[in-house]
Amino acid sequence: MRRVAIAFQVILSSLILFSCQSTPSDKEVVRDRSPQQMEANQTIGFYKHMSLDDALELARQENKQVFIDFYADWCAPCKMMERDVFTNQSVYTFFNERFINVKMDVDDRSVGSEAAAKYNVSAMPTLMLIDPEKDVIMKERGYRDANGLLKAAQSALARANY
C-alpha cells in the first residue's frame, strides 16, 4: 500500500510540474532556436509569433532583410521544405547569416493571416524576402528545393543591390 501511495505522489507531482511550465502567449515572440542550437539542429532559426512590423524593425536594427515562410499546418509541401530544404547546410547558413527569418501560419488570425492578406498570399508555401522599407524583393510560390531557394534568394538580393 505504501508503494502505491508513493507512486501516486510521484505521478501527481509530475503532473503539477509539467502543467506549470510556461508556454508562449499569442503575442510572445519565440525564436525556434538559439544560435548555438541552430548549428546543433542544423536548420533555419525562425521566429514564430512575430508580427511583420516587429520583424521589419528588427531587420532595420540588424541591417538585414526579412525572410518569411508563409505556411499552413495542413500543407504537405510546407512540411517537405521544413524537413528537406530548411535543414540543408547551405540554406540554413545563408539564411541565418543574412535574414531575420520568420514563419507565419496563414491560419493564425493573430499574425499570419493579416500579413498573408497584406501581401496577397494565396498558395502555400509562399516564400518572401522583404526589405526593412516593406518592399518585396522576392516572392516564390510553391515548393523549392535547396538549390532553387538559394538561387532565387541570391538573385533577388543581387537585383535589389543588397
Catalytic residues: 75, 78
With beta carbons less than 8 A apart as the criterion, state whether 125 and 142 touch: yes
Measured CA angle at 50 (ends 154, 70), to 5 deg: 50
With beta carbons less than 8 A apart as the criterion, state whether 47 and 29 touch: yes
Dmax (CA) of the chain: 75
Query: How many other CB atoms are found less than 10 A from the CB of residue 138?
Result: 19
Single out the residue of 51, 40, 156 nearest to residue 100, CA to CA.
51
Chain length of the chain: 162
